[in-house]
Amino acid sequence: MRKVAVIGVGQTRFSGAQGKSLSELFAEAAFEALADAHIESKSVQALFVGNALGDFAEGQGMTPAFIADYIGAWNVPANRYDGACASASVAIRDAFLLVAAGVYDIVIAGGVERAASLGTPLATRTFAMFSDSRYEFPAGMTFPGVFALLAHRYAAVYGLPIEKLKEQMAQVSVQSYNHGMFNPKAHLKKSVTIPDVLKSFTVATPIQLHDCCPFSDGAAAVVVASEEAAKTLSPRPVFIAGAGQASSGPLASQGAYLPRLKARELSARQAYAMAGITPADIDVCELHDCFSIAGIIAAEGLGFFEQGKAGEAWLKGEADIGGKVAINPSGGLKSKGHPIGATGAAQVYEVVRQLRGEVEPERQVPEARIGMTDTLGGDGGTMVSLIFKRGW
Amino acid sequence: MRKVAVIGVGQTRFSGAQGKSLSELFAEAAFEALADAHIESKSVQALFVGNALGDFAEGQGMTPAFIADYIGAWNVPANRYDGACASASVAIRDAFLLVAAGVYDIVIAGGVERAASLGTPLATRTFAMFSDSRYEFPAGMTFPGVFALLAHRYAAVYGLPIEKLKEQMAQVSVQSYNHGMFNPKAHLKKSVTIPDVLKSFTVATPIQLHDCCPFSDGAAAVVVASEEAAKTLSPRPVFIAGAGQASSGPLASQGAYLPRLKARELSARQAYAMAGITPADIDVCELHDCFSIAGIIAAEGLGFFEQGKAGEAWLKGEADIGGKVAINPSGGLKSKGHPIGATGAAQVYEVVRQLRGEVEPERQVPEARIGMTDTLGGDGGTMVSLIFKRGW
């Protein structure tokens, strides 16, 4: 297998409902990524797009076939992946594997979603399709409910008073908002305090409004290239050093293992093994904080902190820039926004730019050399881990 | 790249609306394929499933994550592909490439759909999402309309009186029905004559009811394995000798090239080149006859007959068993049925069983050594070609 690099990244601003089509949104991100990679559309040999809800948002399925034509990557194989919120990460992993294998030299991979355009009731209803449609949604289990249950379970398993956990969760959001303030592409830009979070309205006990990410519109894309192609095109290639992916069924299938998610831990283990590193080597990580409790569970599942201790780490600044590992300097799903199918690619966009040292100074992780992304689809049904290393 | 074989195939009966869930349907096909391959679920290293409309049929997205759990392929990477009617073929090609690359040794790939369960008005509406949602559907272009226009264009380009073309189209359906009669897994089993087709009701001039495939429920799955794994498991591996995939945008983007579809021709060319063969080497081909005119266009695009001459070939029996190439001995989409996301896998199911010489005698292609599948997604947006060769 060949070495594979990311040589270009692009992202639209994440936002509420806006008027661009899926093709237009993805094109905006793709052209930025192509320009960043100093290549033209005709150099692209395949297009892999994560998109979970395009059919519902604008009555368009099989979107990548139209996007390929739209961006001038004529007639290339164009795949659509639905791994729910992890769709783009599945697309990028596939691109990585097929470039590594020598099938393609240059692939654009990413994702696009108009989750905000769906409107709130339909967005909530359609998101719930990514949990088990037979047993979870009919029982009232939309995602705030799923993560509220996980928060209660977390508190019970680790013997944490719920008020203490709520304070930790609040700090996860506070930190994300702090960084998102300085991300020009973030959806929600505001400064909030722990009391602000705690007094925001209750979505599903113990989850408050500020514990939840927004529904966003947006797209992100990355140019994935063989080492050989990267050498001639990019002075600063960021190599994909490791990748993992694992699945699981309904949340209940994980039984007593909860609040831990086995699929994440398996996926991360694959990625660490491939990269030949340990969690302690990660300088910066964009992880899946669709709810603040999800961020805490992710940080533990990836091995950054002991089980039951991540919330404390957040409160101590150990999960922030300058701490043990800089988590979500982009603002995370919480502040940057969560356009489902695009989220994994936006995480890669951020990590690559962090490793290149080119984000806004207020949120740049100093000397970041190794980065990671963690993306969760549904209530853990699809988990993808990617590890990146500077190539210079 | 390693050699890759199909070592097991499974298919549910294709049917009208039925009561099984997507997971249950796919499991039925998958367990048949696993038994055929003499392996258990725990040997599977990844699961790739084509599914276009599960969200609409039963409110379930990201279905493969749940299917993997359901069939006991716990925690494997589980991808959902939407390439419209070509979804399963995209999944199988991806499985082929990743096994060839050495990423996996054994993958289950296939597709599932409950297109009949959607009910006719919703099925027609949702299918139309796979043409261009901005310009085609709003203009009234559901798929019967698309292929009716292509039929008129075909007649005009090749100077064929429309009544002559209608007779040729009718023969495509007559032949498919003739074979489907003997396929125990076919959806529609009846014997029709050319006059029956011509006097069936008009769906969209010049397309009559019997020129159209049905909406079906069903699933199909294949076990894809490395040559090494195949050697120990199967006395009769069928090798995937070639694969191609290409995309295109809205039908109108193809302009004066129509009724030919450039993406198909590019895709087929890739597959022939990889397999090192020409169209004349193909003994049996399952091609995408969603409408009879689509079958005619496909047979020419794949290079079996001269442009404008395929309909005549059908009338002369050259497209039938004993002719130049045996087309759709399964009954094709017309008689076997068309459960969108499953169709490409059902084509592979048929070709593999033809090469093994194990289908019903009435429709077995004698001495079939090389087979091909051709799958069309949307109105040509996604095209996949696969070529298979006996391994013994």
Mean pLDDT of each 10-residue bin along chain B, 392 residues long: 97 97 98 98 98 95 97 98 98 98 98 95 92 89 94 98 98 98 97 98 97 98 97 94 97 92 98 98 98 98 98 98 98 98 98 98 98 97 98 90
Predicted local confidence at residue B132, as pLDDT: 92
Amino acid occupying residue A391:
G
> Contacts of residue B134 in chain A, CB cutoff 8 Å?
21, 60
What percent of the residues of chain B are helix, what percent strand, and what percent coil, each to the nearest 5? 45, 20, 35
Q: Is B248 within 8 Å of A79 when comparing Cβ atoms?
A: no
Give the gyration radius of chain A's Cα atoms: 19
Q: ipTM above 0.90?
A: yes
How far is residue B270's CA from residue A366's CA, in Å, rounded to a whole number?
47
pLDDT band at A369 (very low <50, low <70, confident <90, very high): very high
Domain containing A87 equals 4-120+214-390
Which of B45, B66, B257 is best to mutate for the A interface (most A CBs within 10 A)?
Answer: B66
**Cis ω for the linkage preceding A259 (within 30 of 0):** yes
At residue A253, the pLDDT reads 87
Query: Of A67, A142, A247, A251, which to mutate for an interface test with B (greatest number of B Cβ within 10 Å)?
Result: A247
Can you give the pLDDT at residue B95?
98
CB pairs under 8 A between A and B: 180
Angle at which helices B343-356 and B87-100 cross, to 10°: 60
How many angstroms separate the first and last alpha carbons of chain A?
Answer: 20
Asked whether residue B282 is assigned to any structural domain, the reply reads yes
Antiparallel, parallel or unpaired: β B106-114 and B46-50: parallel
Catalytic residue among A85, A212, A285, A290: A85
Q: Contact, A47 vs A62, CB < 8 A?
A: no
Out of B78, B101, B128, name the one closest to residue A101 (CB).
B101
* Mean pLDDT along residues A316-323: 98
- Answer whether residue B218 is part of any domain: no
Residue B252, pLDDT score = 86
- Residues in B closer than 8 angstroms to A260, CB to CB, are none
Q: Which residue of B has its CA nearest to A101?
A: B101
User: Which helix (H) or strand (E) covers residue A48, if one does?
Assistant: strand A46-50
A31 within domain boundaries: yes
Phi, psi (rounded to 5 degrees) for A322: 95, -10
Residue A256 phi/psi, 5-degree rounding, is -70, -10
Q: Which residue of B has its CA nearest to A384?
A: B77
**Using CB atoms, which residue from A55, A126, A246 is nearest to B129?**
A55
Contacts of B102 in chain A (CB under 8 A): 1, 101
DSSP code string of A193-213: -HHHHHHSPEEETTEEGGGBP
Nearest CA of chain A to the CA of B204: how many Å? 23
Closest-CA residue of A relative to B99 is A101
pLDDT at B149: 96
Distances (CA, A) of B379 to A180, B217, B218, B241: 42, 21, 22, 27
The reported pLDDT for the residue numbered B121 is: 86
Residue of A21, A84, A262 lying closest to B62 (CB–CB) = A84
Contact between A377 and B80 using a beta-carbon 8 Å cutoff: no
Residue B371 resides in a domain? yes
Residues in A closer than 8 angstroms to B245, CB to CB, are 77
Selection from A303, A294, A272 nearest residue A388 by Cα: A272
| Cα angle, residue A271 at apex, residues A299 and A13 outer, rounded to 5° | 65
Kindly state whether residue B155 falls inside one of the protein's structural domains: yes
| Closest chain A C-alpha to B294 CA, distance in angstroms | 19
Residue A246, min C-alpha distance to chain B (Å): 5
Rg (CA), chain B: 19
Contacts of A135-143 spanning 24+ positions with Cβ under 8 A: A135/A250, A135/A252, A136/A250, A136/A251, A136/A252, A136/A379, A137/B59, A143/A290, A143/A291, A143/A379
What distance in Å separates residue B115's CA from the closest CA in chain A? 15
**Residue of chain A whose Cα is closest to the Cα of B247:** A75
- Report the amino acid identity of residue B82: D
DSSP line for A233-281: H-SS-EEEEEEEEEE---GGGGGGGTTS-HHHHHHHHHHHHHHT--GGG
Average pLDDT over residues A70-96: 98
Q: Which residues of A touch B377 (CB under 8 A)?
A: 62, 65
d(CA B227, CA B205): 49
CATH number for position B369: 3.40.47.10
Q: Which residues of B are catalytic?
A: 85, 338
Q: How far is B361 from chain A (nearest CA, A)?
A: 37
Q: Do B76 and A101 touch (CB under 8 A)?
A: no
Q: Do A83 and B80 touch (CB under 8 A)?
A: yes
B-chain CB neighbours of A58 within 8 Å are 133
Chain B residues near residue A134 by CB distance under 8 angstroms: 21, 60
Query: Is A56 part of a structural domain of the chain?
Result: yes
The beta-carbon neighbor of B97 closest among A61, A84, A101 is: A101
Q: What is the pLDDT of residue A22?
A: 97
pLDDT at A140: 84
Task: Write down the pLDDT at residue B253.
Answer: 87
Asked if B62 lies within 8 A of A52 by C-beta distance, the reply is: yes
Q: Do B377 and A83 touch (CB under 8 A)?
A: no
> What ranges in B54-142 are assigned the alpha helix state H?
54-58, 63-70, 87-100, 120-127
- Token couple for B277: 């063969």
Cis peptide before B64 (omega within 30 of 0): no
Sort out which chain A residues have CB atoms less than 8 A from B80's CB and list them: 81-83
- Residues from chain B that touch A130, judged by Cβ atoms under 8 A, are 61-62
Element (H, E) at B169: helix B162-180
Instruction: Tell me if B373 is assigned to some domain.
Output: yes
Task: State whether B58 and A248 contact (CB < 8 Å).
Answer: no
Q: How many CB atoms lie within 10 A of CB A43?
A: 17
Mean of the per-residue pLDDT values of chain A:
97
Torsion angle of the four alpha carbons A181, A182, A185, A186, in this order, in degrees rounded to the nearest 10: -20
pLDDT for residue A117: 96
Nearest C-alpha neighbor of B305 from the set B273, B336, B327: B327
Torsional sign, CA B52, B57, B62, B64: negative
Is the bond into A206 cis (omega within 30 degrees of 0)?
yes
Taking only the tens place, the pLDDT of each residue in A11-21 is 999 999 999 99
- Asked whether the predicted pLDDT for residue A159 surpasses 90, the reply is yes
Q: Residue A24 has what DSSP assignment?
A: H
> Residue A72 above 90 pLDDT?
yes
Residue B340, pLDDT score: 97
Identify the DSSP state of A368: -
For this structure, is A152 an active site residue?
Answer: no
Is B378 in Cβ contact with A65 (below 8 Å)?
Answer: yes
Nearest to B290 by CA among B188, B205, B183, B213: B213
Indicate whether A141 pLDDT > 90: no
Residue of A75, A104, A261 to mutate when probing chain B, most B C-beta within 10 A: A75
Give the 3-state secondary structure percentages of chain A, helix then strand then coil, rounded to 5. Answer: 45, 20, 35
Nearest partner of B382 among A47, A383, A270, judged by Cα: A47
| Dist. CA A103–CA A106, nearest whole Å | 9
Cα–Cα nearest to B49, from B6, B111, B105, B92 = B111
Count of domains forming chain B: 1
Q: Say whether B266 and A75 touch across the interface (CB within 8 A).
A: yes
Query: Given this model, what pLDDT does residue A16 score?
Result: 98
Q: B113 CA to chain A: closest CA distance, Å?
A: 15
Nearest CA in chain B to A89: B79
> Could you report the per-residue pLDDT of A242-269, keeping only the tens digit for each?
999 999 999 988 889 999 999 999 999 9
**Pair of tokens at residue B328:** 């759709």
Query: Which residue in B133, B262, B343 has the most chain A C-beta atoms within 10 A of its own C-beta, making it the best mutation to test that interface?
Result: B133
Does A83 reside within a domain? yes
